[in-house]
Amino acid sequence: MKILVGNNRLMNPGGSETYTYAIVKELVECGHAVTCITSDSSGMVSDKIRELNVPIKFNFSFEKYDVALLSHSTSIKLSENVQAFKIQTCHGVFPKLEQPVKGMDAYVAISEEVQQHLASKGINSTIIRNGIDCSRFKPEILINEKLQNVLSLAHSDNVNEMLVKACKEIGCNLKIRNKYIYPVWDIENWINEADLVVGLGRGAYEAAACGRNVIILDQRNYTNIDIPIGDGFLTKDNFPKFLENNCSGRYSRKPFTVDVLVDEMGKYNYSESYFLRDFVYENLNIKKQVNEYLNLVR
Question: Do residues 168 and 237 both lie within one domain?
Answer: yes
User: In this predicted model, what pLDDT tens digit does every residue of 170-184 receive, in sequence order?
Assistant: 999 999 999 989 899
Residue 238 lies in a domain: yes
Per-residue burial over 117-136, b if 16 or more Cβ lie within 10 Å, else e, is bbeeeebebeebbbbbbbeb
Q: How many domains does the chain have?
A: 2
Average pLDDT across the chain, whole number: 95
pLDDT band at 15 (very low <50, low <70, confident <90, very high): confident
Q: What is the pLDDT of residue 224?
A: 64
Q: How far apart are CA 293 and CA 210, in angstroms?
A: 25
Any domain includes 244? yes
Q: Which domain holds residue 70?
A: 2-128
Backbone region of residue 295 per phi and psi (left: phi > 0; alpha: psi in -120 to 50; beta: other values): alpha
138, part of any domain:
no
Spell out the alpha helix ranges (H) of the chain. 15-29, 44-50, 73-78, 112-120, 157-170, 187-192, 201-209, 239-243, 258-265, 272-283, 286-295
Q: Last residue of some domain: 98, 128, 158? A: 128
- What is the number of helices (H) and of strands (E) in the chain? 11, 13
CA 78 to chain centre: 23
Which of 97, 128, 159 is where one domain is finished? 128
Distance CA 61, CA 82 (A): 8
| CA 232 remoteness from chain centre | 18
Count CA atoms within 13 Å of residue 120 on its CB side.
Answer: 8
CATH number of the domain residue 43 falls in: 3.40.50
Q: Is 103 left (phi over 0), alpha (psi -120 to 50) or beta?
A: left
The model's confidence at residue 288, banded by pLDDT at 50, 70 and 90, is very high
pTM for the whole structure: 0.95
Looking at the fold, whether 157 and 114 belong to one and the same domain comes out as no
Answer yes or no: do 54 and 24 share one domain: yes
